[in-house]
Amino acid sequence: ETGVTQTPRHLVMGMTNKKSLKCEQHLGHNAMYWYKQSAKKPLELMFVYSLEERVENNSVPSRFSPECPNSSHLFLHLHTLQPEDSALYLCASSHLNREQFFGPGTRLTVL
């Protein structure tokens, strides 16, 4: 238990569905992150929010849309995904310039 929770833990969706991933941190951190982890590939940074402002968008397709309503919550809204988007999506949080604490991830399968 790292103080970062993610829901759902598993998600199966069709290419025409709309779904959202949720992340919540209980550590008082001021930065939050979304990562994608695919088999045989390095962990890829998708988005960074610092003090609730998006400071990094790592060339992610627009079918992924992040939202950070406050410093404790982070969402990733998904729509019209492709099968190649199937992966483990990890949320993390940190104080600025400090080590990141990861949530358990959401295993996403796009059919």
C-beta of 11: minimal distance to other proteins in Å? 16
Nearer Cβ to other proteins (16/96): 96
C-beta of 31: minimal distance to other proteins in Å? 5
Nearer Cβ to other proteins (80/100): 100
DSSP string, the chain: --SEEEE-SEEEE-TT-EEEEEEEE-S--SEEEEEEE-TTS--EEEEEEETTEEEEE-S--TTEEEEEEETTEEEEEEES--GGG-EEEEEEEESTTS--EE---EEEEE-
C-beta of 80: minimal distance to other proteins in Å? 27
Nearer Cβ to other proteins (40/70): 40
